């Protein structure tokens, strides 16, 4: 599994709907595995990765924004600045479906909300 955490992204949107107050976006890619061995094999005779699955979370400071975004779908995009890069990078993930939201209240009484998402494509960074 590979994953990236993008802190303080800007211009976050799903489809044409902006999502404000985003503190981080986590993107994970997982690949299934197929393993097989025949009689008397000492090692697997087949070891392949299957299709990838992309998913992740969007963390927000405003639960109201999470409620509005839950259940939406479209292209998820945001702008992020790499620590080593001088220019902003745009991350785009096509065919996303936003799931339900989960709210928390921290010890300092600050609220936060997390949205989960799944996608039919891998993230593209440009």
pTM across the whole model? 0.81
pLDDT for position 116: 95
Measure the CA–CA gap between 104 and 61, rounded to whole angstroms.
10
Averaged pLDDT, 53-82: 91
Average pLDDT, the chain: 86
Tokens 């976050």: give the residue: 12
- Per-residue pLDDT of 16-65, as tens digits, reads 999 999 999 999 988 877 777 777 777 777 777 777 889 999 999 988 88
Residue 109 has what DSSP assignment?
S
100 compared with 1, residue with greater pLDDT: 100
Domain range 2-35+46-125, CATH class: mainly beta
Cβ count near 47 (within 10 Å): 11
Instruction: Indicate the domain borders of the chain.
Output: 2-35+46-125
- Asked if the model's pLDDT at residue 1 lies above 70, the reply is no
Confidence band, pLDDT 50/70/90 cuts, at residue 76? very high
């Amino acid at each position: 599994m590979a994953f990236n955490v993008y802190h303080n992204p800007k211009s976050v949107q799903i489809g044409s709907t902006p999502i404000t107050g985003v503190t981080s976006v986590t993107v994970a890619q997982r690949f299934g595995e197929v393993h097989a061995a025949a009689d008397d094999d000492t090692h697997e005779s087949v070891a392949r990765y299957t299709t990838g699955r992309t998913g992740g979370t969007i963390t927000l400071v405003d639960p109201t924004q999470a409620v509005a975004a839950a259940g939406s779908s479209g292209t998820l995009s945001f702008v992020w600045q790499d620590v080593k890069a001088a220019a902003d990078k745009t991350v785009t993930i096509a065919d996303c479906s936003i799931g339900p939201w989960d709210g928390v209240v921290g010890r300092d009484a600050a609220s936060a909300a997390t949205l989960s998402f799944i996608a039919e494509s891998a993230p593209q960074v440009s």
